[in-house]
Structure 1
Amino acid sequence: MNSTVKPRRKPSQSRAWMTSTAIQDAFLLLLLEKGYEKTSMRDIANVAGVSVGSVYQYFPGKEAIAAMTVRTWVRKLSTALSQAVEGITRTGKGRTVDEVTRLLVEVQVNTMLEGGAYWRALSSIERRVSPQAVYNRLYQDNVDLFRQALTSAADWPDGLDDARVAFSAYTIVDSLVKQALLVKAALPSAETMLGDVSLALDGYVRAVRRTGAVPP
């Protein structure tokens, strides 16, 4: 990982975790209020209620704080998806593909819209501050969760390239939600977003199941 985005130290005690969290929360508030370019390390320290020196003990610079904050929020989404997938797989082969895809869409849409303004701000800088390897790993973690959920469905057909289908399925959901947050002036309603994303994902998955293979 690039040294400019790698934290200086990993907090191992509760007080240290609280300080790191306070710094990330302060950065996020300032990102909304002032934007990335106008936010300084001193601003972050003031809002977090710590000294500038304390901030530098944990992070070498603003980009490192931004990268860690993005990772923290992406992991929140992964945790929500993981809990949903655990619930799906715990019931065995009882759910249909349509039920599984609906649940996956609901979890991702509701999680991201709940923190809509924050997700919008973080999505706008995500590729700028996230090292490619870290971005790829976190993305693939969520793809793997989609794969696990989809293949657990009672009517999931054999013979599909599950990894490829899961990648496309997650990309459809993630891209539609993120682009809506980034581009639209007003945050979309959950009902509208759920409807649009479900239509797109259902169309893709049904086409794949009907043909029995992902088109080349």
Structure 2
Amino acid sequence: MSLSQIKVRRKPQQSRARLTQEALIESFVQLLKEKDSTEITIREITDIAGVGLGTFYEYFSKKEDLIALTIHQYIKNNANTIKQQATLWMMDVSQTPINRESLQNLIEYLLQAQISDIQSEQKIWAQLFLLERQISSPKAYQKHYALMIQSWNQALSAFTQSTESNLSLNIHRISYGFISQTLLVNSDFQNWKNLYQDMLEMIQFFILKTQKI
């Protein structure tokens, strides 16, 4: 089922409704730590969330709708991590000169933050990367891709001359490709330090090629 065909039946306008939807997502994620998504039933999700089946169907027509929203929330949260950490870095280093070395330092810092965010729940991310391929439509995938590039654009805005930075595009191509492919092959992957270094080497090439700071 493509994400373009999936619709949330009831958008949470009130705080209580939002909390209910979040509880359903959290319940699904908790179950995803223990079993494959195909083995998870809606009844299990609602039991852990402490709501009835009727409440589930107020928001979703089927389990795939909940999965699609879970994927979106995780990607959105990871994009926000990049933007928030960039803001903190700029505040901590308020007198940072706008040069290539500072840009490199910021990218290294943000990659570490992104990896830490994913590593903390890497088995969940491994499953979500797989589910994204099974459930998301091309349109939904493109939206998520654009969301991540936009987060990198905002994070690097002090160092780039355009909000449509090719550097942001290439950083996401590298980080998404390296991390997703690694976890799809091995959800128990441990050698994050080497993966991080490999990503930096690739990104350094694009910094030298495209940035005139």
Q: Which range, TM-score by smaller chain?
A: 0.7 to 0.9
Candidates 164, 182, 185, aligned match of 1:183? 185
1:148-203 deviation digits (Å, cap 9, x = unpaired): 444523xx6x7x99533321221101111112222125232443332232222223
1:1-216 matches, within 5 Å, as 4-87=5-88, 91=94, 94=97, 96-153=102-159, 163-209=165-211
Q: How far is the alpha carbon of 1:2 from its aligned partner?
A: 5.6
Give TM-score, length-normalised by structure 2.
Answer: 0.83
Q: 1:57 to 1:3 in 2, by over 3 A?
A: farther
Count of matched residue positions in the alignment of Structure 1 and Structure 2:
206
Give TM-score, length-normalised by structure 1.
Answer: 0.82
Percent pairwise identity: 24
Q: 1:28 to 1:132 in 2, by over 3 A?
A: same
SS at 2:12 equivalent: coil
By relative contact order (CA 8 Å, sep 6+), the higher-ranking structure is 2
8 A contact 2:21–2:59 mirrored in 1: yes
SS at 2:7 equivalent: coil
The alignment's C-alpha RMSD in Å is 2.6
Gaps of 5+ in 2: none
Q: How far is the alpha carbon of 1:76 from its aligned partner?
A: 0.8
Q: How far is the alpha carbon of 1:97 from its aligned partner?
A: 2.2
Rounded Cα–Cα distance in structure 2 between residues aligned with 1:208 and 1:145: 19
